[in-house]
A and B are shown apart, each in its own frame.
Chain A
Amino acid sequence: MRSAASYLDTASSEPLHPAARETLLAAYDRGYADPRRLHGPGRDARLLLDNARAVVAECLGVRPDEVTFTSSGTEAVHRGLLGLRRGPGPVAHTAVEHSAVVHAATWAGAALELPVDRLGRVDPATAPSDASVVAVQSANHEVGTLQPVAEVPAGVPLFVDACASMGRLPLPDRWDALAGSAHKWGGPAGVGVLLVRKGARWLNPFPGDDRIDERASGFENVPAALAAAAALRAVVEEREEVNARQHALVDLVRTRVAAEVPDVEVVGDPVDRLPHLVTFSCLYVDGETLVTELDRRGYGVASGSACTASTLTPSRVLEAMGVLTHGNVRVSLTRDTTAATVEGFLEALPGVVRDIRTQVGL
Chain B
Amino acid sequence: MTDPVVDLELDCRGLLCPLPVIELGKRYAEVPVGGVVAVLADDVAARTDIPAWCRMRGQDYLGEDPTGRYLVRRVGP
Interface positions of A (Cβ within 8 A of B): 263, 265, 281, 283-286, 305-307, 313-314, 318-319, 322-327, 360-362
B17 and A305 contacting across the interface, CB-CB below 8 Å: yes
- A326 touching B44 by the CB < 8 A rule? no
B residues contacting A by CB (< 8 A) are 16-18, 21-22, 25-26, 43-45, 47-49, 51-53, 56-57
Whether A306 contacts B56 in the complex (CB less than 8 A), given A313-B44, A325-B48, A326-B49, comes out as no
Q: What is the minimal beta-carbon distance from B21 to any residue of chain A, in angstroms?
A: 7
Q: How far is the CB of A177 from chain B (nearest CB, A)?
A: 32
Find out whether the CB atom of A306 lies under 8 angstroms from the CB atom of B25.
no
Complex: chain B residue closest to A264, CB-CB? B56
CA distance A105 to B57 in the complex (A): 37
Q: Pick 13 A–B contacts, CB within 8 A, sort by A.
A: A265-B56, A283-B57, A284-B21, A284-B25, A307-B17, A313-B44, A314-B48, A319-B48, A322-B48, A325-B17, A326-B18, A326-B21, A362-B26
Chain B residues within an 8 Å CB radius of A318: 48
B69 to chain A, nearest CB (A): 19
User: Which residue, B22, B26, B47, has most C-beta atoms of chain A within 10 A?
Assistant: B22
Q: Which residues in A have their C-beta under 8 angstroms from that of B51?
A: 322
Separation of A283 and B19 alpha carbons in the complex (Å): 11
B52 contacts A314, C-beta separation under 8 Å: no
Given contacts A314-B48, A325-B45, A362-B25, 16 further A-B contacts (CB under 8 A): A283-B18, A283-B21, A306-B17, A307-B17, A313-B44, A313-B45, A323-B52, A325-B17, A325-B48, A325-B52, A326-B21, A326-B45, A360-B22, A361-B26, A362-B22, A362-B26
Q: Which residues of B contact A361 (CB under 8 A)?
A: 22, 26
Q: For residue A359, give the distance in angstroms from its CB to the closest CB of chain B.
A: 11
Contacting residues, chain B, for A284 (C-beta < 8 A): 18, 21-22, 25
**How far apart sit A286 and B45, CA to CA, in the bound complex (Å)?**
12
B48 touches A285 (CB 8 A): no
B44 and A324 contacting across the interface, CB-CB below 8 Å: no
Closest residue on chain A to residue B52 by CB atoms: A324
Q: How far is the CA of A323 from the CA of B58 in the complex (A)?
A: 14
Docked complex Cα distance between A325 and B46 (Å): 9
B49 to chain A, nearest CB (A): 6
With CB as the reference atom, state the residue of chain B lying closest to A324. B52
A281 to B53, CA, bound (A): 11
Closest to B50 in A: A324
Closest Cβ of chain A: how far from B66's Cβ, in Å? 22
Q: Nearest Cβ in chain A — how far from B62, in angstroms? A: 16
Please, which residues of chain A bring their CB within 8 A of the CB of B16? 306-307
CB contacts (< 8 Å) of B21 on chain A: these are: 283-284, 326
What separation, in Å, do the CA atoms of A99 and B24 have in the docked complex?
A: 32
Chain A residues within an 8 Å CB radius of B18: 283-286, 326-327
Given contacts A284-B18, A306-B45, A307-B17, is CB(A324)–CB(B26) below 8 Å?
A: no
Q: A283-B25, A325-B45, A362-B26 are in contact. Are A265 and B17 (CB under 8 A)?
A: no
Min CB–CB distance A327 → chain B (angstroms): 6
Partner of B56, one of A313, A314, A319, A324: A324
CA distance A285 to B51 in the complex (A): 16
> B13 → chain A, closest Cβ, in Å?
16
The residues of B that contact A307 with a CB separation of less than 8 Å are: 16-17
Cα(A313)–Cα(B44), bound, Å = 7
A314: contacting residue among B17, B22, B53, B57, CB under 8 A: B17
Give the one of A284, A313, A322 with max B CB within 10 A: A284
Q: What's the minimum C-beta distance from A210 to chain B, rounded to whole angstroms?
A: 46
